[in-house]
Chain A
Amino acid sequence: MHKITVIALNTFKEAVRNKVLYFLLIFALIIMGFSGVISDLSIAAPEKLIKDLGLASIDFFGFLIAVFVGIYLVYNEIDKRTIYTIVSKPIDRCQFILGKYFGLLFTIYVNIAIMSLFFFAVLYFRESTQPDMVNKALYHEITPGKWEAAGNPAIQYYLFHAKQFGLSAGKAFITIFGYTEPLTQGLMRVILMSALGLAVITSFAIFYSTFSTPTLSAVFTFLTFIIGSLCEDILRYTDKLAEKAGGVNMLTGADSLKYWFAWAAMHITPNLGLFDKRMDAIYGSEFVNPLDRYVTVDWVVVVYGLLYVGGVLCLASMIFNRRNFK
């Protein structure tokens, strides 16, 4: 366990030196900040726009970090020949893969935490600086209908915004640790489920990097992500093929090939849609299903995710064990 922790921490240190990570993070933060601006273009549901864009950014940029950082982790060790010093030490190759995996996962989760902090801060800040709230802060009512400016309006305006910025940042920070308001209800659970989905994708990135080049690993991981995201559509596609032929047994030729290829693809790749709870959080589960109560943690999905990660890491370790570094 200690060995895995040491490798994981080293992997984290190595990953945070990767400039790609910062580019992706900054880009994600810009998009989230921008969501506050574009929501003003909408005549309705501005909060929905911010939430949609924020949650999608956290998920997608988390995935990009997993791909662009993950694919180099094992490859760099081999390319720079530092792997020889590691395998010559009493470290099991499985421990090496696990260390790399947890190091990368920790990097991704730190980034998710930063993105979430920013996302919640944007939501809270926008809510607390609505025009009526700003007016209340700048003017106070002396008698009904008569208003007086509370000091210099320009200075008060900036003071008010600075105060709200601080408060929003504080609230955003505690939201990550479980504090919720109606505005952010269920969002942290969505992010946690998303993080679990990223753990699965990260395991695939590590797995591919144990036997292929970074470019190929990136392509494979992207394909896994695409197939995983379309799992339910592929299921419908196979159903349609079977229905058209009058049953699975009636499929012949190209259709049969297509059917079994799609069937295999959807069973091998993880169904990433299961980790996606964004719709529940945006609309509330009552909206979608009145019998359900808001975003709930689906423990079957959690177990499913962990089983997938375990399985893929075992496979990665097996392949890595067979590699010859002599």
Chain B
Amino acid sequence: MRRSLVHNLILVALFLAFFSGAVAIQRRTLEGVRKNPPFIETWNLSGRSGDILKILALRYDMVTADFLWLRAIQSFGGRGMTNRDWRPIYNLFDTITELDPYFEDAYTFGNLVIGDEGGKQREGLALIDKGMKNMICQYRVPFEGMYVAHWQMSDTNLARWYGRVAANRLNAPDWVPRIAAYVEVQGGAYYVGLDRFIGNFLRGIDGKDTVMQTISLSKIKDTIDDWNKSLLQRALDEYTSSTGRLPARIGDLVSQPALQNYESASISHFIAAINRYLFASGRDTLDAGMLKGYVLPAPDEMTKPVPSPEAVKAAKSMTPFQNEIFRDTLEKRGGIPLSPAGSPYMLNLTSLGNPYASRKEAVTDTANAAEFLKNLLGDMREVIRKRKNELGRNPESLREVFCTDFKTTEPFGGKFTYDPKTGEFKSSSHPDM
């Protein structure tokens, strides 16, 4: 009995000695882990890891991908705090998608981590391309590609390609073709963008969806506006390269080749064409409230007959006539176009030749220029007011506000005036603004 007790006591003592030693070492290693930032190094997977792991995982490759996915999420959190080397994380996502080729989130999140966060958009797009090949019905992966190419890389041609793929995917919701059409317009493919938006508008009519009609009409207007502005910008470039100076007013561009017998679209032609087809099919024409703010067609344009009235009357849908309506919307003309909102185009002299302004801002229309001026005046007045509060009096000159000469040009060609007595800052072209 006594011997057994001693025996047990020795065993307990040995257990305590061994176990406490092990726990002490464990505690030290854990403290060491705490000192380092988490997940400094991602597993060093290579470009072939996917192939090898696929074999090693036997048929459990999806579960293996899931564990790597969890690891990737943790690594992303850790890597955000350390360096931005994209290779290990790229290989990780590449391996995940080799193991589970339909793991949509791995492509999109991988692209976000590598491209959006890591600044390596081309490498992020390599993952997107792989996802597009593996998932032939899904819109989300090419849509992400379009987003990255357009909004991060400013590569509109690449974005247009991704957009077209996304819009044609089987599960693409209604809004995907709309955004793809927007990207087409941004990339200068006005015919394609216009055609897509007209298609959207007609589907809105067929579905009696007034919201879709309103949005599509607004997008058609924006497309025509961008189209006109691009022509004017081309004319502006031609003018500056041929004369070596900037134009003083929009009228100076009239004789440039870009504005001779060009093709563009007209919102009034579009409205007229739609109303003609609606009338021919026995439906109500467009609501006047929806057309507020657009250039309306002349009455005789509305009454022109459609090419095949019987076919239009028999058709249950408007979409079969998309091509005809599209063609009717186009027009050949020369000279300075009129904006679809009806306000004439002009040169924004504040932006023209300003190296800090984007090229597109040089051409605007009077309504937009007035809005621009209003905002500019508001900003200036706010800066002056703040300076006044600091000084306890009106600034004596604008130099006292901006610490330099005030050289900003007024968009309409007038002058900015500042009265130190009253502290008023005004524009000579719009004194009431």
Q: B109 near A233 (CB under 8 angstroms)?
A: no
Residue on A with the closest CB to B105?
A44
In chain B, residues 69-92, which have Cβ atoms closer than 8 Å to a Cβ of chain A?
A: 69-70, 73-74
Chain B residues with CB under 8 Å of chain A are 54-55, 58-60, 62-63, 65-66, 69-70, 73-74, 102-105, 109, 135-138, 170
Q: A42 near B73 (CB under 8 angstroms)?
A: yes
- A46-65 vs B, CB cutoff 8 Å, 1 = contact: the mask equals 00110011001001100000
> How far does the Cβ of B381 sit from chain A's closest Cβ, in whole Å?
38
Q: B138 near A287 (CB under 8 angstroms)?
A: yes
* A43 in the interface (beta carbon within 8 A): yes
Interface with B: A156-164, A245-253, A276-284, which one? Answer: A276-284
How long is the Cα–Cα vector from A236 to B63 in the complex, in angstroms? Answer: 23
The 3 closest A-B pairs by CB, nearest first: A44-B105, A229-B58, A56-B63
Residue on A with the closest CB to B73?
A43
Among candidates B54, B69, B70, B137, residue contacting A290 with C-beta atoms closer than 8 Å: B137
Q: B70 near A41 (CB under 8 angstroms)?
A: yes
Contacts of A286 in B (CB 8 A): 137
Q: A56 near B70 (CB under 8 angstroms)?
A: no
* A230 in the interface (beta carbon within 8 A): yes
Contacts of A288 in B (CB 8 A): 102
A52-B63 contact, Cβ under 8 Å, with A43-B109, A233-B55, A290-B170: yes
Residue on A with the closest CB to B136?
A290
Q: B73 near A282 (CB under 8 angstroms)?
A: no
Among candidates B60, B103, B135, B138, residue contacting A60 with C-beta atoms closer than 8 Å: B60
Q: B66 near A53 (CB under 8 angstroms)?
A: yes
30 residue pairs from A and B, CB less than 8 Å apart? A41-B70, A41-B73, A41-B74, A42-B69, A42-B70, A42-B73, A43-B73, A43-B109, A44-B105, A44-B109, A45-B103, A45-B104, A48-B103, A49-B66, A52-B63, A56-B60, A59-B60, A226-B58, A233-B55, A273-B59, A276-B59, A279-B62, A279-B102, A286-B137, A287-B102, A287-B137, A288-B102, A290-B136, A290-B137, A290-B170
> How far does the Cβ of B39 sit from chain A's closest Cβ, in whole Å?
13
Residue on B with the closest CB to A284?
B102
* A104 in the interface (beta carbon within 8 A): no
Contacts of B73 in A (CB 8 A): 41-43
Q: A52 near B66 (CB under 8 angstroms)?
A: yes
Q: B58 near A53 (CB under 8 angstroms)?
A: no
Q: A56 near B137 (CB under 8 angstroms)?
A: no
A278-B137 contact, Cβ under 8 Å, with A44-B109, A45-B105, A290-B170: no
How long is the Cα–Cα vector from A283 to B62 in the complex, in angstroms? Answer: 11
Q: Is the interface of B mostly helix, strand, loop or mixed?
A: helix
Residue on B with the closest CB to A225?
B58
* A272 in the interface (beta carbon within 8 A): yes
Q: A230 near B55 (CB under 8 angstroms)?
A: yes
Known: A43-B73, A276-B59. 7 other contacts (CB 8 A): A41-B73, A42-B70, A43-B105, A45-B103, A279-B102, A287-B138, A290-B136
> How far does the Cβ of B106 sit from chain A's closest Cβ, in whole Å?
9
Contacts of B63 in A (CB 8 A): 52-53, 56
> How far does the Cβ of A227 sit from chain B's closest Cβ, in whole Å?
10
Residue on A with the closest CB to B76?
A43
Q: B62 near A56 (CB under 8 angstroms)?
A: yes
How long is the Cα–Cα vector from A164 to B66 in the complex, in angstroms? Answer: 27
> How far does the Cβ of B61 sit from chain A's closest Cβ, in whole Å?
9
Residue on A with the closest CB to B108?
A44
Q: B66 near A48 (CB under 8 angstroms)?
A: yes
In chain A, residues 205-240, which have Cβ atoms closer than 8 Å to a Cβ of chain B?
A: 225-226, 229-230, 233
Contacts of A49 in B (CB 8 A): 66, 69-70
Highest count of chain A CB atoms <10 Å: which of B62, B74, B105, B138? B62
> How far does the Cβ of A60 sit from chain B's closest Cβ, in whole Å?
7
Residue on B with the closest CB to A283?
B102
* A38 in the interface (beta carbon within 8 A): yes
Contacts of A278 in B (CB 8 A): 62
Q: A282 near B109 (CB under 8 angstroms)?
A: no
Highest count of chain B CB atoms <10 Å: which of A56, A272, A273, A290? A56
> How far does the Cβ of B127 sit from chain A's closest Cβ, in whole Å?
15
> How far does the Cβ of B144 sit from chain A's closest Cβ, in whole Å?
13
How long is the Cα–Cα vector from A318 to B65 in the complex, in angstroms? Answer: 43
Residue on B with the closest CB to A197?
B59
> How far does the Cβ of A50 sit from chain B's closest Cβ, in whole Å?
10
Highest count of chain B CB atoms <10 Å: which of A59, A272, A283? A283
Residue on A with the closest CB to B135?
A287
Residue on B with the closest CB to A41?
B70
Among candidates B54, B62, B104, B138, residue contacting A52 with C-beta atoms closer than 8 Å: B62
How long is the Cα–Cα vector from A56 to B63 in the complex, in angstroms? Answer: 7
Q: B62 near A282 (CB under 8 angstroms)?
A: yes
- A138-159 vs B, CB cutoff 8 Å, 1 = contact: the mask equals 0000000000000000000000
Contacts of B74 in A (CB 8 A): 41
> How far does the Cβ of A44 sit from chain B's closest Cβ, in whole Å?
4
Contacts of A44 in B (CB 8 A): 105, 109
Residue on A with the closest CB to B134?
A288
How long is the Cα–Cα vector from A38 to B73 in the complex, in angstroms? Answer: 12
Contacts of A41 in B (CB 8 A): 70, 73-74
- A70-104 vs B, CB cutoff 8 Å, 1 = contact: the mask equals 00000000000000000000000000000000000
Highest count of chain A CB atoms <10 Å: which of B63, B65, B69, B109? B63
How long is the Cα–Cα vector from A45 to B96 in the complex, in angstroms? Answer: 14
> How far does the Cβ of B313 sit from chain A's closest Cβ, in whole Å?
37
Contacts of B170 in A (CB 8 A): 290
How long is the Cα–Cα vector from A155 to B263 in the complex, in angstroms? Answer: 72
How long is the Cα–Cα vector from A288 to B55 in the complex, in angstroms? Answer: 21
Residue on B with the closest CB to A38?
B70
In chain A, residues 242-290, which have Cβ atoms closer than 8 Å to a Cβ of chain B?
A: 272-273, 276, 278-279, 282-283, 286-288, 290
Contacts of B59 in A (CB 8 A): 59, 229, 272-273, 276
Contacts of A52 in B (CB 8 A): 62-63, 65-66
How long is the Cα–Cα vector from A53 to B135 in the complex, in angstroms? Answer: 22
Contacts of B70 in A (CB 8 A): 38, 41-42, 49
Contacts of B135 in A (CB 8 A): 287
Contacts of A273 in B (CB 8 A): 59
Contacts of B137 in A (CB 8 A): 286-287, 290
Contacts of B136 in A (CB 8 A): 290
How long is the Cα–Cα vector from A140 to B103 in the complex, in angstroms? Answer: 38
How long is the Cα–Cα vector from A282 to B74 in the complex, in angstroms? Answer: 24
> How far does the Cβ of A300 sit from chain B's closest Cβ, in whole Å?
19
> How far does the Cβ of A217 sit from chain B's closest Cβ, in whole Å?
20
How long is the Cα–Cα vector from A273 to B61 in the complex, in angstroms? Answer: 12
Residue on B with the closest CB to A226?
B58
Among candidates B58, B62, B103, B104, residue contacting A230 with C-beta atoms closer than 8 Å: B58
In chain A, residues 274-316, which have Cβ atoms closer than 8 Å to a Cβ of chain B?
A: 276, 278-279, 282-283, 286-288, 290
How long is the Cα–Cα vector from A288 to B109 in the complex, in angstroms? Answer: 20
